[in-house]
Amino acid sequence: MLRDRAAAVDLFAMVPMLQLHFEPELAELDRLLEDDQIFQHVKADLSRRRPHTTETGRPSTPVEVILRLLVVQHLYAWSYAQTEHFVGDSLVLRQFCRLGLDPVPHHTTLMRWSNLLQPETMHRLLDRVTELARGLKVTRGRKLRVDSTVVATAIHYPTDSTLLFDGVRVLSRLVQRATLALTGKRRRVGIQRMRAAKQLVRRIEATAAAHATARDRAERPTLYCRLLGLAQASLDQAERVRQTFATQTQATMQPLHSTLGSMAELVQQVIVQTQRRVIDGESVPASAKLVSLFEPHTAIVRRGKAHLPAEFGRKIMFDEVEGGLVTRYAVLNGNPPDAPELPRSLAHHQACFSQVPTLLTADRAFFTLDNERLAADLQIRSVALPRPGPLTPKHKEVRHSASFRRAYRWRAGIEGRISVLKRRFGLARCRYHGEQGMERWVGWGVLAHNLRQISRSVAAESAR
């Protein structure tokens, strides 16, 4: 039978009949976030927004709401705008975030509050969550495995030509803003230079194509010289505008003056490294290269992976204990060796659990004689740190022992843990800006992962 319309139902009037409640994992997570120490750590950072934030001004979004919204955002890998939308549409998430019937904070408001959290606070929050997990008997800290990975920054693939074009484009844009601030008129300063630079970049990229002829490749240095000339002209123009700004006393001019200065320094570095590498034929070390004007802290990391010869981001160290909890992370500078991080991992583990692990394992990159000696001095019962290179008969016997093979098999689990962090909690690519943004992004990803692990474990234990 064909019906014209459905019977009218007022779902809002039926809300009490739905008997909404948290699922077991979300209920446990709700109890975890009621911890006062976590609340106070977050409040201490948010209170630094203005000199008298805690005393005067309009009532802000409650600290508890901000904390829970940020946890939900990273738990479900949402953007700020998606968090605002989905939390506003869900009665359960509204209850979880303590919003009630109040409007969800605008995503830009949530972003501004989030940027106030300091890297040190993220580490304190992680330590507190580890302490809660220990109290709930999710982990006892008896096993420790360590590994590193790379979290990419949000940049395009860096080439000398595209970096020079970025410099021309950004400096021209800043000069346009400076001209508007000084004269009150909009002027299309540097437009022709930007177009010429873009055409040169395309021609340079064509010389590197597989079908490029020998004549095209021979033209490459000439094209680079012209592109360098455009970048230098933009730099000189920006410096003249910056000198004009120096005579201005208005406070509103200072941020633009500072931005011009910092960007000019970065563009100068790109010009120098391009001149050395392309024109002079020098080999510029990776530690001396700038690969992004927008994320200058990005490092070039080579880990010997065939499918990823070079990665652009930051190297991250992870410590994991049994129970699937990451108890420590460290954002490293450049591409340092892994081995020096092992003593720090052991020291942090002792501080968190008041004991050394009975089992310690990592891959061969962490092996040194000093690390082996440290593990022996701490009387760690089972150590699985493979030695690189040829082995003596004694070392072969140790490598083939049942205890070593059992411990090293457990080590492989951290590879899966890193994969989960990258696929599920956003650690494949950092979406925040700057070095502190990288610390916050990694910290929130690890925190959301640990909170989910603890909630699942406690909920599963309660269901037995």
Residue 173 lies in a domain: yes
d(CA 309, CA 320): 27
Whether residues 441 and 325 share a domain: the answer is yes
pLDDT tens-digit series, residues 116-164: 999 999 999 999 999 999 999 999 999 999 999 999 999 999 999 999 9
* 3 state DSSP class of 315: strand
Shared-domain flag, residues 426 and 448 = yes
Residues 90, 24 share a domain: yes
In a domain, 329, yes or no: yes
User: How far is Cα 25 from Cα 72, in angstroms, rounded to an integer?
Assistant: 13
Lowest mean pLDDT among 161-165, 300-304, 320-324: 300-304
Structure tokens at 327: 């108890």
Q: Are residues 319 and 350 in the same domain?
A: yes
Local confidence band at 322 (pLDDT 50, 70, 90 cut-offs): very high
Q: Is the pLDDT of residue 201 over 70?
A: yes
Q: Is the pLDDT of residue 102 over 90?
A: no
Same domain as 26, residue 172: no
Residue pLDDT, tens place only, 241-281:
888 877 776 766 788 888 898 999 999 999 999 999 999 98
DSSP 400: T
Number of domains in the chain: 3
167-201 in b/e form (b: 16+ CB < 10 A) is bbbbbbebbbbbbebeeeeeeebbeebbeebeebb
Tell me, rounded to whole angstroms, the distance of Cα 266 from its chain centroid: 22
Kindly report the number of other CB atoms within 10 A of residue 230's CB atom.
20
Output 186 or 330, whichever has higher pLDDT.
330
Residue 438, domain member (yes or no) = yes
pLDDT exceeds cutoff 70 at 32: yes
Task: Give the Cα-Cα-Cα angle 327, 330, 333 (nearest 5 degrees).
Answer: 170
In which band, very low, low, confident or very high, does the pLDDT at 10 lie, cut at 50, 70 and 90?
low
Q: Are residues 274 and 370 in the same domain?
A: no
pLDDT reading at 50 higher than 90: no
**Six-digit token string for 411:** 């080590």
Residues 442 and 311 in one domain: yes
Alpha-carbon distance values, 302 to 161, 193, 313, 370 (Å): 22, 35, 11, 25
Q: Which of 232, 267, 288 is where one domain is finished?
A: 288
The predicted structure's pLDDT at residue 6: 63
pLDDT given for residue 435 in this prediction = 94
Domain residues for 267?
A: 160-288
Residues forming a β-bridge with 270: none
Whether residue 42 is predicted with pLDDT greater than 60 in this model: the reply is yes
Q: Is residue 74, in this structure, part of any structural domain at all? A: yes
* Tokens describing residue 429: 């690519």
Final residue before a domain boundary, out of 86, 114, 142: 114
Residue 313 located in a structural domain: yes
Q: Which whole number is the average pLDDT over 320-332?
A: 96
pLDDT at 245: 77
6: in domain: no
CATH code of 145's domain: 3.30.420.10
List, in order, residues 6 or more apart from 341 with CB less than 8 Å away.
146, 148, 317, 330, 332, 366
Per-residue pLDDT, 8: 67
116, two tokens: 């106030």
Q: Is pLDDT at 344 greater than 70 in this prediction?
A: yes
What pLDDT is stored for residue 351 in this prediction? Answer: 95
Confidence of residue 5 (pLDDT cuts 50, 70, 90): low
- Is 1's pLDDT higher than 60? no
Where does 58-181 show beta strands of DSSP type E? 143-152
pLDDT above 90 covers a percentage of the chain that reads 69
Q: Using an 8 Å Cβ cutoff, are 6 and 80 in contact?
A: no
HSE-up of 208 (CA within 13 Å, CB side)? 11
The residue that leads in pLDDT, 11 or 382, is 382
Residue 18 pLDDT exceeds 70: no
Q: Cβ(271)–Cβ(284) under 8 Å?
A: no
Q: Judge contact between 121 and 447, C-beta under 8 A.
A: no
User: What's the full length of the chain, in residues?
Assistant: 464
Helices (H) and strands (E) in the chain, counts: 19, 6
Q: Are residues 146 and 245 in the same domain?
A: no
Task: State the CB neighbour count (10 A cutoff) for residue 111.
Answer: 14
Confidence of residue 383 (pLDDT cuts 50, 70, 90): very high
Specify the amino acid at residue 106.
H
DSSP 305: B
- The predicted pLDDT at position 9 comes to 61
**411-437: b (≥16 Cβ within 10 Å) or e:** bebbeebbeebbebbbbbebebeebbb
Last residue of a domain, one of 83, 114, 145: 114
Q: Which pairing describes strands 359-362 and 382-384: parallel, antiparallel, or unpaired?
A: parallel
Mean pLDDT to the nearest integer, 41-69 = 90
At residue 297 the predicted structure's pLDDT band, cuts being 50, 70 and 90, is very high
- Degrees (nearest 5) of the Cα angle 327, 328, 332? 165
pTM of the model: 0.91
b/e map 253-272, b = 16+ CB within 10 Å: beebbeebeebbebbbbbbe
Check residues 100 and 297 and name the one with the higher pLDDT: 297
Burial of 398 (0-12, 13-18, 19+ CB in 10 A): middle
Considering the domain architecture, whether residues 331 and 459 belong to the same structural domain is answered as: yes
The answer to whether residues 312 and 378 belong to one domain is yes
pLDDT mean across residues, the chain: 90
Q: Establish if 151 belongs to a structural domain.
A: yes
Query: Are both 146 and 82 inside the same structural domain?
Result: no
Separation between Cα atoms, residue 377 and residue 446, nearest integer Å: 31
The pairing of beta strand 359-362 with beta strand 311-321: unpaired
Q: DSSP character for 189?
A: T
Task: Tell whether 95 and 149 lie within a shared domain.
Answer: no
Could you give the percent of the chain with pLDDT greater than 70?
95
Give phi and psi for 72, each to the nearest 5.
-60, -40
- In a domain, residue 8? The reply is no
